[in-house]
Structure 1
C-alpha cells in the first residue's frame, strides 16, 4: 500500500506545469527574446490584451506592487524588423501591430502584446493561438501554428511575390518583342491622344485577344507615314506583354536579310521560331525587295502563320491600289492570305503628322533659342 502511494506521488511529481513545458521546449529557445529596432534586447512577457500600457507608479500606493487584478506589463513598442521584403511597402502592416513585415517577423517568436491563455501563447492582435499542445507517450510538446494575422501576412507576401514575378515576366516579354527601347512607352496608359479612334480600336482588339487568337485574326493597317500605324500596333503588343503573351515586332525586310546571312539548313528553324509567337507585327510591309528569294520566304511565313492561326498585325504606307498593282503571282498570293485573316483599316489622320512636326519644330526652337515671328512661324515649313 505504501509503495502504491509512493508511485502515485512520483507520477504526480512527474507532471510538469504547462508553462514550464513551453519555456523548456527547444522550439522556444530562440523566441524568448525579440530584437527591437534600436538593437536592444527586450524580454517578452505574457501580456493580456487589456493591458497595453505600463501602470504609473503614482497609481500604486507608495510604489508598491500593483494589485492582482491589474497585472504589471512591460512597455515595448511594436517590433520593427529590418530588411523589408520587396513589393510590400504599400500594405498596412500596422493593422496587426507591425511597423514593417519581413520573414524575420514570422520566426521571431512572441511579440509584444501576445498573452498566455489555457497554457498556450495567443496572438495579441487576432487573439488566436500561436501554438498547439500535443501529448505523445506522456510527453507534451508545443508546435507552432499560424494565427489569422500571420496567415494573412504570409498570403499577402505570397501575392506580392506573384505580382512581382508577373511584372518580371512581362518585362522579359517586352524586351523580346520590341526592337527599340523607346517603344516600351507606347502603351495605352501613356497614349498621346493623336488618334483616339484607332486607339479605341487597338484597345478593344487587345481586350478581345483571346478570341482573336483562337481565330487567328489580325489587322491590316494602311496609311501614309505619320498616321500612327506602328504606334497603335506597339500599343497592342505592350498590352499583351503585360498579360504574359509572347509577341514580336519585326519586318519582312529584316527577316529576309537575316535569312540571307544564315545557312540553308538553319533557315527553316528560324522561320518556325518566328511563327511560334502569340502575335506578330510585320511593320512596313511592301518595302522588302521584290526577288524570288524574298517573295517565296514572305509567302512561306504568311502561310505558316495562317495554318497555325497566329494573329498578324501588318502595317504599310502603300495604298491598296499600289499593293495590287504590278505584283507577281507569289506576292499576290501572300497579299490574299493576309486579307483573309486581317481586317483592313485605313488611317488618314494627317493632323497627327502635322501636330508632331509642329511640336518637333517648337522643341528645336526652344533648344536653340530661336525666336520666330508669328508670320514666319505660320509659314515655316513642316519637317
Structure 2
C-alpha cells in the first residue's frame, strides 16, 4: 500500500528532463515544470514537499486526446440520431452543403436552424407547399440534418410509413404516436399522398392532434394548396386541415421542377457518353 501511495507522487522523468533552479523537475521538450510544490500546510499530511504536475506539452497532448474523443462521441451521437430520425437514407444527403442553389426558399431554412431555440419555444411550425419537385422535401431535410448535427433529435417520416407501422402493430398505437411526438421537431413529408381510408384519416388526425397538444414544432411538406386545405372535401379532412393551419405557417415554393431538371441534365450527359 505504501509503494502504491508513493507511486502517485513519483514523477516519471525522461532522459532530456532536467532540474531547475527551484529544485523542480522540468520537461526537456517544452521547458515547463513537471512538478509543483505542495502548500506548506499540506506537507505534513503527505510527507512530501512536491507532487507531479502537467507540463505544457503533456497538457497539449491530453487536450488533443480529449478533443478527439469528444469528436468521436459527437459523430457517434449524430450517426445514431440520423439512423433513428430518417426513414430513407437518401435524406442524409439533403444538406445545406449539397445545395445546388435552385431552391430560392432555402435561406429561410438556414434562418429556421439559426433561430431554433426561439422556434422551439414558440412552437414554430411550417407548411411547405408548392408543385412537385420544387425543393420542399430538400428544404425540410436541410433543417433536419443541420439540427441533428447539433445533437438535436429530429424525426423525418411520412404518413405512408406511419400508417404501415401502425397497421403492422409493432407497438401500441398510443405508444408509437407518443414516441413520434417526443421529438423536439417532427417533419411529415408528402402529406396528402397517404391512403384516404376512414382508418387512415383517423390515424392521421390522431398524430397531428397529438403533436398539437405536445406543443412542439411540426414541419409538413405537401402538394396541396392553401385553397385545398381551406376547402376540405369532408369533415374528416376538415378537422385534420384545421389543426395543420393552426400549427404551421404556409410557405409557398416557387421555381422550376428541380427533379425534372436534374433528370434532364442526367439524360443529356448519358446521350453525350453514348455518342
Return the TM-score normalized by structure 1.
0.63
Q: CA deviation at 1:324?
A: 4.1
CA distance in 2, matches of 1:247, 1:326: 29
Shift of residue 179, structure 1, vs aligned partner = 1.9
- Contact in 1 for aligned 2:37/2:50 (Cα 8 Å): yes
Question: Could you tell me how far apart the structure 2 residues matched to 1:120 and 1:301 are?
Answer: 68
Instruction: State which of 22, 28, 31 in structure 2 corresponds to 1:127.
Output: 31
Gaps of 5+ in 2: 1-5
Which residues in structure 2 correspond to 1:214-363 (within 5 Å)? Answer: 214-262=121-169, 266-350=172-256, 352-363=258-269
| Deviation at residue 295 of structure 1 after TM alignment | 1.6
How far the C-alpha of 1:233 sits from its partner, in A, is 0.6
Q: Give 1:178 shift.
A: 1.6
Aligned to 2:98: 190
Per-residue deviation, 1:137: 8.8
The aligned residue for residue 19 of structure 2 is 116
Which of 95, 104, 107 is equivalent to 1:200? 107
The answer on whether the counterparts of 1:217 and 1:309 sit within 8 Å (CA) in structure 2 is no
Which whole-Å deviations, capped at 9, do the CAs of 1:218-270 have from their partners, x for residues lacking one?
Answer: 1111112111111111011000000111111111122122212218x811111
TM-superposed CA distance for 1:353, in Å, is 4.3
Q: Give the structure-2-normalised TM-score.
A: 0.86
Matches within 5 A, 1:72-151: 109-111=12-14, 113-117=16-20, 118-132=22-36, 136=44, 140=48, 143-151=51-59
Aligned residues: 265
CA distance in 1, matches of 2:14, 2:224: 71
State the superposition RMSD in angstroms.
2.6
Deviation at 1:126, TM superposition (A): 4.2
Q: Judge which range, 284-293 or 129-138, deviates more.
A: 129-138
Contact 1:216-1:306 within 8 A present in 2 as well: no
Aligned partner (choices 66, 75, 84) of residue 158 of structure 1 = 66
Q: Which has the higher contact order (CA 8 A, sep 6+)?
A: 2
Which ranges of structure 1 fall in alignment gaps of 5 or more residues? Answer: 1-24, 32-108, 372-383
* 8 Å contact from structure 2 (residues 9, 52) kept in 1: no
Judging changes above 3 Å, is the alpha-carbon distance between structure 1 residues 300 and 147 closer, same or farther for their aligned structure 2 residues? same
171 and 138 in structure 1: CA distance in 2 versus 1, 3 angstrom threshold:
closer
1:209 aligns with 2:116: yes
Question: Map of 1:157-176 to 2, 5 A cutoff?
Answer: 157-176=65-84
Q: How does 1:365-380 map to 2 (within 5 A)?
A: 365-366=271-272, 369=274, 371=275
**Maintained 8 Å contact 2:132/2:257:** no
In structure 2, relative to structure 1, the CA distance for the partners of 1:124 and 1:352 (3 Å cut) is: same
